[in-house]
Amino acid sequence: MATINSCTNCGCSKAKCGCQDTMLTSPAPCPTPIGCPSPEPCSEVFDAQCVIYTGENIICGTDIVVPANTNVATALQLIVDYYCINVVAYSDVLIFDSVLDSMRYYCNGVQIDVKYGTAQSNITAYVAMLNSNTNFNTYGEYFDNGDGRVRLELPYSVAKTFCPGGVISMVGFYD
């Protein structure tokens, strides 16, 4: 470190030549919160595509949501996609000539699950049963699609666990 009287590292032989014993720091954009302009200026700004996340894979359960060495712009989009985008599935056209109480779930036409509930005599009651029964609502939220079908909106994270990249469909029935 340099001293106040001489500066041997920078080649200056005069006393107090400008070298100091402290490191350079980036100052805060403004001295007090009261004096800050709006919007507050940044000391440095980087494009999110130029900043690389180098930590461990960001994982939710067994899913890698953000892989290591992903740029921040892509990482943010992957997080939004994972938690916010819903996948929509539709049932066959339901005919209530008697009652319905169950639902079969398919991925690309192959049955992947079946769930059983309580008998309902119309689509409004059937949808209400699907949404209130924990046997069904773990997949997402059910709606009367207005055309005789039930619509299921599943979070992307749920849909990709049992039908990655596939088409989900449903068939209501009475058991």
pLDDT single digits (tens) 114-172: 999 999 999 999 999 999 998 898 899 999 999 989 999 988 878 888 888 788 999 99
Instruction: Name the more confident of 35 and 125.
Output: 125
Report, as an integer, the average pLDDT of 104-111: 94
Do residue 77 and residue 96 come from a single domain? no
Do residue 90 and residue 145 come from a single domain? yes
| Amino acid 2: pLDDT | 39
Instruction: Name the more confident of 14 and 48.
Output: 48
Do residue 94 and residue 127 come from a single domain? yes
Instruction: Name the more confident of 126 and 37.
Output: 126
Instruction: Name the more confident of 15 and 38.
Output: 38
Do residue 80 and residue 90 come from a single domain? no
Give the number of domains in the chain: 2
The predicted model scores a pTM of: 0.56
User: Which has the minimum average pLDDT: 12-16, 83-87, 114-118, 143-147?
Assistant: 12-16
139 domain residue, yes or no: yes
Q: What span, in angstroms and rounded, lies between the C-alpha atoms of 126 and 118?
A: 9
Instruction: Say if strands 86-91 and 168-173 run parallel, antiparallel, or are unpaired.
Output: parallel
| Amino acid 11: pLDDT | 52
At position 77, the amino acid (one-letter code) is Q
Q: How many CA atoms, within 13 angstroms, populate the side-chain half-sphere of residue 120?
A: 22
Do residue 144 and residue 70 come from a single domain? no
Long-range CB contacts (< 8 A, 24+ apart) of 82-85? 82/156, 82/157, 83/155, 83/156, 83/157, 84/156, 85/155, 85/156
- The percentage of the chain sitting over the pLDDT mark of 90, rounded to a whole number, equals 37
| Amino acid 6: pLDDT | 43
115 domain residue, yes or no: yes
